[in-house]
Amino acid sequence: MGKKTKIGIAAVAVGAAAWAGSKALVTAQPRPKKNALEYDRPMILAHRGGSALAPENSMAAFKKAASYGIDGFEIDIRLTSDEELIVFHDEFVDRTTDGAGKVADLTLEKLRTLDLGYHFEDLEGNNSYRGGDEKIITLRELLDEFPDMYINIDMKDSPETYEGSLLPSKLWRLIESAGVEERVGVTSFFDEQIDRFNLYAQNRVAIGAGENEVRKAFAAFNSQFGHLYKPRADMFQIPIRSNGFNLVSPRFIAFLENLNVPVHYWTIDDPEIIRSLIDAGAKGIITDRPDVAVKALKETE
């Protein structure tokens, strides 16, 4: 037996011993369960109110989605120049032919002058909401309008911006004052924003996984040391694929489920894919077509 072979065998033995030792000493640490995420069937969440059926983030969209019997909404929020939390996705607004500029530079009053239905076309290609008085709404208005809905809130402002630095504390104060800790979830693509929010919330609100947390979990799942992974999120909201990796796997979903971390997939409108995700163990479907998703879910029951 050559020297290199002996070294290779020794390295394998050391690795196996390390794995066995860690397995013996470390057990998986599930997240404490959150009431907001306790449900007996997969959730259907209307993405921005179901943006294929009515202007995204408009009250018309949320009301229309609710009429299909969905479980809640998946929304984005941003901070205005007068520090109001509004339900809006884009950094810049363009809801008239003249445009309006950056959300963070505009007051709520100014933003209310915009026509949310200006560019919207329904599935038949009709601009039926233009001039229909659909205005930007605040997060508080949405919470008050739908007191029985679960609402997942995505903080869009970057933590490196002034508005982003204020967003987590502003959001926590609103959630606390509204008393909705047990019917909302809070997430962001930025792990730092989630951490900042949880400094205030202290695990009293269900939090999602940022991009780094998702990568960490997926790497742990694909390694021999998945038992060492300790989740820092109460839920995962992920696409089907990310950076070339397929994130749909019954084993990956079960890996997280065993840690009390349900997986929600976005943004899914195809009924066949919705059914396949539910069969794989997905606990939530985020969709622009709540009408299609609700029907597809019923077909799996």
Rounded CA gap, 243 and 254, in Å? 22
Question: Residue 158: how many CB atoms within 10 A of its CB?
Answer: 16
Rounded CA gap, 177 and 179, in Å? 5
DSSP secondary structure of 5-21: HHHHHHHHHHHHHHHHH
Rounded CA gap, 100 and 127, in Å? 20
Structure tokens at 250: 């019954």
Give the catalytic positions in this structure: 47, 89
Please count the CA atoms within 13 angstroms of the CA of 186 that sit on its side-chain side: 31
Instruction: Tell me the C-alpha to C-alpha distance, in Å, between residue 234 and each of 28, 191, 258.
Output: 15, 13, 12
Instruction: Tell me the C-alpha to C-alpha distance, in Å, between residue 159 and each of 166, 168, 195.
Output: 8, 9, 11
